[in-house]
Amino acid sequence: MKLKKIEIILCLALVICILFHFVSFAGSCASVKKDVLRLHIIANSDSKEDQALKLKVRDAVIKSGQVLFESAKSIEQAKQMARLNLEKIKQTAVHELQKNHCADSVTVRLTSAFFETRYYDGFTLPAGEYEALQIIIGKGEGHNWWCVMFPELCFAAAGAVEKTDALNDAEKKLITSNPHVEVRFKCVEIYEKIKKIL
């Protein structure tokens, strides 16, 4: 009987440790989400042509965005730059489409959107609601593409641009965690999805 009580106490202690660790990790994930502005581009459709156009718009917007956001030192400044330049960003996207003989409409807005966990070599962002500069091409019925507009972590055709000065040390450590923490990111993703439903 005594052994059974010890086993129960040990199991409870283990559960408490796991929950404490998860709550701490989820808190770090929440901190990253509030310091990041994502770029979210949605293609007109999943046709090969529309998906190729989406990537051309991506490259044009990232190129102009590097100039627009280079002076931003905080997420609030980055959002303000985005708000002030929505029309300019839209014109960049429209011009790129026109260059490629496409007359699709373009909608550009600053919004909040849910993103699932994304893994790249040495780079992970947890799932959850993020502020996003969203560009919708035409009907917006195709697969999307995303990156991080602020701080500059976009993966352009030329390669990664990594300027993480806007993130604190704990946030940098979190997004560059090794692959062994994928289970924790998955738990956070499930937690965020449940939160969204509720």
Three-state DSSP class for residue 138: coil
Task: Note the pLDDT tens digit of each residue in 118-138.
Answer: 776 566 778 888 899 999 999
pTM of the model: 0.72
- CA distances (Å), 2 to each of 6, 8, 14, in order? 6, 10, 19
Burial 103-132 (b: 16+ CB within 10 A, else e): ebebebeeeeeebebeeeeebbbbbbebbb
Over the stretch 94-117, which tens digit does the pLDDT of each residue have? 999 999 999 999 999 999 988 887
In this prediction, residue 157 carries a pLDDT of: 37
User: Which residues are CB-neighbours of 122 under 8 A, at least 6 positions away?
Assistant: 176
Positions of the chain with pLDDT under 50: 20-22, 155-164, 179
